[in-house]
């Protein structure tokens, strides 16, 4: 929810402070959020630290989009693919290793452990990031961006991916409950690795996949195949269906993340474009698992929440049909 609510303030801060400075502040705040969670009283500190983590991540993402276009104007899509691979790699490493950290150093120790890389990243950023100032936009330009069809198309596309991915990771453990915790852990690991593998693969793609109609049609078809298998409750083949989901949602995520720096009309609008897309997508990501829970309560069927994945897959296909091919910004 923080990722959705604080994306637009992140764009305003990016234009006010500059992307380089904002990313440094946000990265330091990530470390602070991790350390806050070990304080007392424990419950209050846990929620307060997590709130800081969510806000810090949210405000940094629009600035990251501005950096991709400002620093790599001739390779925006590849820079975005590398950035996306980094996001997925961080999530995969943290989710698979935290349980071992918990055993070795306890839950408080694990929070402190993850705060250290954030501090190191902040120091490396301040040392290595170029110091040149990027063009910024006035806050009023956000209102103008709301009238831009490309913003709403990118937001809708990101929303479909968010609905699929976050609903899947929320409800797969419930679907696989009868198979034990090991089955849930394995299937979620497969999903994360496939999404990561797709992001890494797209780094080497030279063609304009982010604005390709066929790219999103394939992504939607893969997602639909995986979604239908879960809707029909084919639990024994869940690993196969999450591979399809991972391929489809990973393609869509990488493509959508490249759209703001690619399609914004000028450099100063990139942060705002990205913020509006992220706000739409992440608020859907917050709402979709909740709606899945309502469906489960209403029907009593553990497969009911996966109907939202089918809707998301058709959404990918429908939005993909609106793309006409390669689009390039005016450098």
Structure tokens at 182: 């090991």
Give the per-residue pLDDT at 327. Answer: 53
HSE-CB at 129 with a 13 A cutoff on CA atoms is: 22
For the stretch 63-83, pLDDT in tens is: 999 999 989 988 999 999 999
Same domain, 43 and 69: yes
Same domain, 162 and 62: no
- Examine residue 135 and state whether it is found in any structural domain, yes or no: no
Same domain, 314 and 182: yes
- Examine residue 312 and state whether it is found in any structural domain, yes or no: yes
User: Is the Cβ–Cβ distance between 65 and 261 less than 8 Å?
Assistant: yes
Same domain, 52 and 167: no
Give the per-residue pLDDT at 157. Answer: 96
Same domain, 6 and 42: yes
Residues 274, 72: Cα–Cα separation, whole Å: 16
- Examine residue 247 and state whether it is found in any structural domain, yes or no: yes
Give the per-residue pLDDT at 188. Answer: 87
- Examine residue 134 and state whether it is found in any structural domain, yes or no: no
Same domain, 82 and 115: yes
Mean per-residue pLDDT of the chain: 90
Angular region, 76: left φ>0, alpha ψ -120 to 50, beta rest: alpha
Give the per-residue pLDDT at 146. Answer: 86
Q: φ, ψ for residue 73 (rounded to 5)?
A: -60, -25
Q: Decide if pLDDT at 139 tops 80.
A: no
Same domain, 124 and 145: no
For the stretch 143-167, pLDDT in tens is: 788 889 999 999 999 999 999 999 9
Domain that holds residue 162: 141-320
Q: Decide if pLDDT at 113 tops 60.
A: yes
- Examine residue 266 and state whether it is found in any structural domain, yes or no: yes
Give the residue among 96, 116, 106, 91 at the shortest CA–CA distance from 30: 116
Whole-structure pTM value: 0.88
- Examine residue 327 and state whether it is found in any structural domain, yes or no: no
Same domain, 164 and 305: yes
- Examine residue 329 and state whether it is found in any structural domain, yes or no: no
Give the per-residue pLDDT at 94. Answer: 83
Q: Decide if pLDDT at 132 tops 80.
A: no
Same domain, 174 and 309: yes
Average pLDDT over residues 186-211: 91
User: Is the Cβ–Cβ distance between 3 and 57 less than 8 Å?
Assistant: yes
**Count of domains observed in the chain:** 2
Last residue of a domain, one of 78, 107, 128: 128
């Amino acid at each position: 929810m923080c990722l959705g609510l604080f994306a637009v303030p992140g764009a305003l801060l990016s234009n006010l402070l500059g992307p380089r400075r904002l990313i440094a502040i946000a990265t330091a705040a990530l470390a602070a959020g991790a350390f806050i969670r070990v304080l007392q009283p424990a419950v209050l500190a846990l929620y307060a630290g997590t709130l800081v983590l969510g806000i810090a991540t949210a405000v940094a993402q629009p600035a990251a989009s501005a950096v991709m276009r400002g620093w790599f104007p001739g390779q925006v899509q590849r820079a975005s693919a590398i950035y996306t691979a980094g996001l997925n790699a961080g999530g995969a490493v943290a989710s698979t290793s935290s349980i071992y950290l918990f055993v070795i150093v306890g839950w408080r120790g694990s929070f402190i452990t993850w705060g250290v890389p954030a501090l190191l990243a902040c120091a490396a950023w301040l040392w290595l990031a170029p110091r040149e100032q990027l063009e910024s936009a006035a806050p009023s330009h956000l209102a103008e961006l709301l009238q831009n069809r490309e913003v709403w198309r990118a937001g809708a596309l990101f929303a479909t991916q968010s609905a699929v991915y976050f609903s899947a990771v929320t409800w797969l453990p419930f679907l696989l409950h009868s198979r034990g915790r090991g089955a849930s852990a394995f299937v979620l690991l497969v999903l994360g690795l496939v999404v990561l593998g797709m992001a890494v693969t797209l780094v080497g793609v030279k063609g304009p996949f982010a604005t390709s109609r066929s790219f999103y049609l394939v992504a939607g078809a893969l997602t639909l195949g995986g979604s239908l298998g879960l809707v029909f409750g084919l639990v024994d083949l869940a690993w196969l269906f999450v591979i399809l989901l991972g391929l489809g949602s990973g393609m869509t995520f990488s493509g959508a993340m490249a759209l703001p720096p690619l399609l914004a009309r000028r450099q100063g609008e990139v942060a705002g474009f990205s913020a509006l897309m992220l706000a739409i997508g992440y608020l859907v990501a917050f709402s979709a698992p909740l709606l899945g829970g309502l469906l489960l309560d209403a029907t009593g069927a553990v497969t009911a929440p996966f109907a939202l994945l089918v809707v998301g897959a058709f959404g990918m296909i429908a939005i993909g049909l609106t793309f006409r091919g390669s689009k390039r910004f005016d450098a």
